[in-house]
């Protein structure tokens, strides 16, 4: 966290079990001008990522509560995805306490599997 900025509680939620049966959470303290992915890495919480520039969507999460701003335009998300609450954690900065669903279930919602 950068000194002088306020921190927010960011709760990451994994719901990858059947109907959320395997749900687990991790709580992070993330500075307002800090990237969620970076804060997770510093806390030892593993999240998937690819480009770190908002171009590939590997780090997509879905915002349940709170407010996130992207540090740069989230090129991997269409406007309808942003309106539905999807965020890119590699460029996401919290503006309030947040609760974000992460994991493969979020990826499956956003991108259909071409092999099915």
Fold of 8-15+25-111: Ubiquitin-like (UB roll) (3.10.20)
Predicted confidence (pLDDT) at residue 88 exceeds the cutoff of 50? yes
User: Comparing 1-5, 30-34, 105-109, which segment has the lowest mean pLDDT?
Assistant: 1-5
- The ranges assigned to domains in the chain are 8-15+25-111
pTM as predicted = 0.87
3 state SS of 65: strand
Quickly state the pLDDT bin for 36 (edges 50, 70, 90). very high
Tokens 């520039």 locate to 53
If you average pLDDT over residues 40-58, what whole number do you get?
A: 95
Give the strand pairing for 7-14 and 98-102. Answer: parallel
d(CA 44, CA 47): 10
The torsion angles phi and psi of 105, rounded to 5 degrees, stand at -65, -35
């Amino acid at each position: 966290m950068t000194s002088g900025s306020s921190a927010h509680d960011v709760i990451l939620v994994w719901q990858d079990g059947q109907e959320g049966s395997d749900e687990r959470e991790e709580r992070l303290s993330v500075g307002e001008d800090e990237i969620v992915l970076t804060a997770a890495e510093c806390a030892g919480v593993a999240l998937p990522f690819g480009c770190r520039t908002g171009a590939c969507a590997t780090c997509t999460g879905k915002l349940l509560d709170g407010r996130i701003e992207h540090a740069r335009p989230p090129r991997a998300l269409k406007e309808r995805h942003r309106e539905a609450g999807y965020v890119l954690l590699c460029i996401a900065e919290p503006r309030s306490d947040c609760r974000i669903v992460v994991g493969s279930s979020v990826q499956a919602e956003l991108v259909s599997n071409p092999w099915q």
